[in-house]
Amino acid sequence: MRINQLEAITALAETGSIRGAARALGLSQSAVTRALKELERDTGAHLLDRQTEGTKFTRAGTVLLDHASLALAAIRRAKEEVRRISGQDTAHVRIAVTPAVANTKLARLVTAFQSDFPDGRLQIQTGVLSTVVPALRTGDLDFAMVLAKPEEIPPDLSFEQLGEMRMIPITRLTTDTCVKMSWEALAQKRWVANMMPGSADHIVFEWLNSRGIQFTHPLIECSSPYLKMILNVSTDVVALSPAPLYHSQLHALGLVAIAVPDLPPPIALGILLRDQMPQSEAAQMLLALARRLGGGMAL
């Protein structure tokens, strides 16, 4: 198998068509088609089903695609590391963190990176399971510190639990605010929540649904932690917040925790990695620090 063949099959998966793959790779459609046919010949397997509604991956094609993504990501990282060591480029690390970690640990991670790699590039994004999993698979993230249900982690990823985090309901404090309510009464309020699969809000709402809690009003769905906070502060909506984030920051903004009879079970917090993916020296340093900072974390 050659690199251009692996690039062709991954581009096909990302774009959904031969035309899209050709555009993404800057090649002709015939060149992409030829690379895919050569890949099938080299593997001796039927990888693609070409149908009128588009090209679909066979089971063999899906398995190969996973390995192709891993191989290309490893090659790209090897090039980056060699260029850094030879002085042609600077360190480059890409991480994702959940807002609770950003509030309590991110500053020390950034400071340590800047100290060890003053000319390095550090990219940070919000860590929600549904968005970090594909980015880890393609090598667009080195690691993520996320909330997750360990039993739902895909088999090609590894999850190292560092601690647990509790979510609490909060709302704006007004003269009419009742700070002690049942979940049934809270369900009659208007809520804002991040309902992306794998998010902390989504996990808690699954727990509420399992208890038969029915919400009176449609949810305001908001995937941005910042915009969610703005709505929470400026309107009377109810939201869920990591307990330490509320106590360290949100309480000072005029928000109040609502006392409920029982809180949802704590959610596992840990480091998510792609199995068998080599890590750069800079990423290894940040990983080691993240483990030390997060060890036994109880939030």
Residue 37 has pLDDT above 80, yes or no: yes
Cα Rg, the chain, nearest whole Å: 23
Q: What average pLDDT is seen over the chain? A: 89
CA dihedral 199, 141, 119, 114 (to 10 degrees): 40
pLDDT greater at residue 240 or residue 42: 240
91-163+268-298 carries CATH number 3.40.190.10: yes
Q: What pLDDT, in 10s, does the model give residues 160-207?
A: 999 899 999 999 987 666 788 999 999 999 999 999 988 999 999 999
Q: Which CATH architecture has domain 3-81?
A: Orthogonal Bundle (1.10)
- Residue limits of CATH 1.10.10.10 in the chain: 3-81
Non-local (6+) Cβ contacts of 200 within 8 A are: 98, 147, 165, 167, 194, 240, 242, 267
pLDDT at 296: 54
- 158 contacts 272 by C-beta, under 8 angstroms: yes
Task: Dig out the tokens for 188 from the structure.
Answer: 């009659």
Residue 297 has pLDDT above 60, yes or no: no
**pLDDT above 60 for 123:** yes
Q: Which residue from 274, 270, 276 is spatially nearest to 291, judged by alpha carbons?
A: 270
Q: Which CATH superfamily is domain 167-265 in?
A: Periplasmic binding protein-like II (3.40.190.10)
pTM exceeding the 0.75 threshold for the entire prediction: yes
The per-residue pLDDT for range 223-248, each reduced to its tens digit, is 999 999 999 999 999 999 999 889 88
The reported pLDDT for the residue numbered 176 is: 64
Residue 110 has pLDDT above 90, yes or no: yes
For the chain, where do the domains classified as CATH 3.40.190.10 start and end? 91-163+268-298, 167-265
Residues with Cβ within 8 Å of residue 73, at least 6 apart in sequence: 137, 138, 139, 274, 277
Distance CA 107, CA 103 (A): 8
Does 200 or 72 have the greater pLDDT score?
A: 200
